[in-house]
Structure 1
C-alpha cells in the first residue's frame, strides 16, 4: 500500500486545512478524501497527478516516501496562495495521456491547445528530449511474472520521422497512427514494422513507417505496485532468445 493517504493527511495538518477544504480543491467528496487518508481506498491516477502537481511534489515521493514537516514547510505562505519556493532542481512538465483522453489524443495530437489541456507530470530533466507520458489501461504488455498493468505510467522520448531507421528491435514504443494509439514492441524490416504485445495470444500487427504520425520510445515506467524482481534474469534471457528467433525467422 502506498503512503499517499498518510502524506495528504500530513499536508493538511501542516497547512491547517480541513478535509472539506482540501477535497474541494481537487473536486473530491470529503468522505472520499477520508477513505484515502485511512487507507480504505486508493485514488485514481488522475487525482494523484493533480495533487502532486498542485504541491510541486514528485509523484514517486508522494506515493512511496513519508514526507517530512520540513519538506512541506518549504512552501511559501498559505496553501491558497498557490506560490511555492523555487526548487534548485531542474524539472520538466510532461504531458500525460489518460485512458479517457486516448481517443481525443488520436484526433488532436497536433494541436498545442489540446496538449496543454492534458494533465502534466513533473520529472527531473535528464536531457532535452521531448517527452510524453501514457497511462496503461489494458493487459497487452503484461506477462505471467510482471510487465505492465493498468495504472502503470510509461514515459517515452520523441523519435522524429528522420530517425525512424534507428528504431531498436524489440524495444517498446508508444505509436500514434491516424486511427490508433498503441503501446507495443517493434520489430522493423525495411519500411514494414511488426508490432507485438508481451501478453501471449495477442496477434501481431503490421504497419509501414509512413502510417506513423508520432513515435515515442519508452525509457522508464512508474509502476502502480512493487515490482517482482526475483525472476528478472530469467525473463531477460527468454526475451533475448525470442528476439534472436525473430531475427532468424525474418532472414529465412
Structure 2
C-alpha cells in the first residue's frame, strides 16, 4: 500500500454529501505562520477543490493557470469548507470561484478566503514556444545556504511551517537575521519538501508565499499578512529543487507589493505571483 505524501494529505478535500460543489477539509496547524495558516497553503487547498470541480468530464481542466485570492479573516487550524462555483467551461480553459469558510465562535460560518481562478491543461506547454527576458537567480548550492535549523528558536516557534518545508536561503539575503539587512527588498532561496514529494502546479501555489516576508530585508522584522495574492502557473515544474525569489519595490504606510518568481531545475520560469501585504507590528 502506498502512503499519500504529507502535502497531498494535508491539503486533501472531500466532497460533501448532498451539497454539490462543496468540499470539506482540515487545515493543518503545521502550516501556521504567525497568527494564521500560511496564505499559499490556503491557496493550494482552494485550488484542489477547484481542480476536483473543473477537472471532470470531457473538457477536464486540472491545472491552475491563474488564481487570485482575497484573504478576509485569519484562518486557524481545524475543519473548513470550500464551496466552489463553475462560472464557465470552455474548450481551452474554464473559470471557477471558491470560498473557504470555518465555523466561528457562535457556530456560524466565517469566510476566510474568496478566490477566482482559470484552469486549463498544462500538457503541451512544457515544450512550447518560450520567449522571456527573465533570468534565473544565481544561488550558492543548497548545502552552502542558510537553513531554518539556524533560525532563532523564538522564530521557529512562531512559524511551525518552517519544520514542514526545506528552505535554504541565499546568505546574501539573510543579513536581517543578524541585524544587517541589505535594504534591497529581496530574499532568495531554494525550496523542496523534506518528504521527497516532487513539485507540481498545486505545490507552486504554496511556494509563491513560502519565503520570509521580504520586509525583513528592509529591516522591518514583523509579520506581513497577505491581503490579496495572484499566482500564474506557466508550466509543469521539473523534478528537483525549486529556486524562489521574493522582492518588493515599494513599501509605504505599512503596505507593500511582493513579487515572486519560481524557477525549476531546468531553469524554466514555472510560476510568478504578486501579492499585497500589510505589516502587522507585534
- Interval of TM-score (by shorter of Structure 1 and Structure 2): under 0.3
Query: More strand by proportion, 1 or 2?
Result: 2
Query: More helix by proportion, 1 or 2?
Result: 1
Normalised to the residue count of structure 2, the TM-score between the two structures is: 0.25
Normalised to the residue count of structure 1, the TM-score between the two structures is: 0.27
Indicate the structure whose relative CO is greater, using CA pairs within 8 Å and at least 6 residues apart. 2
Work out which of the two has the higher radius of gyration on C-alpha atoms and give 1 or 2. Answer: 1
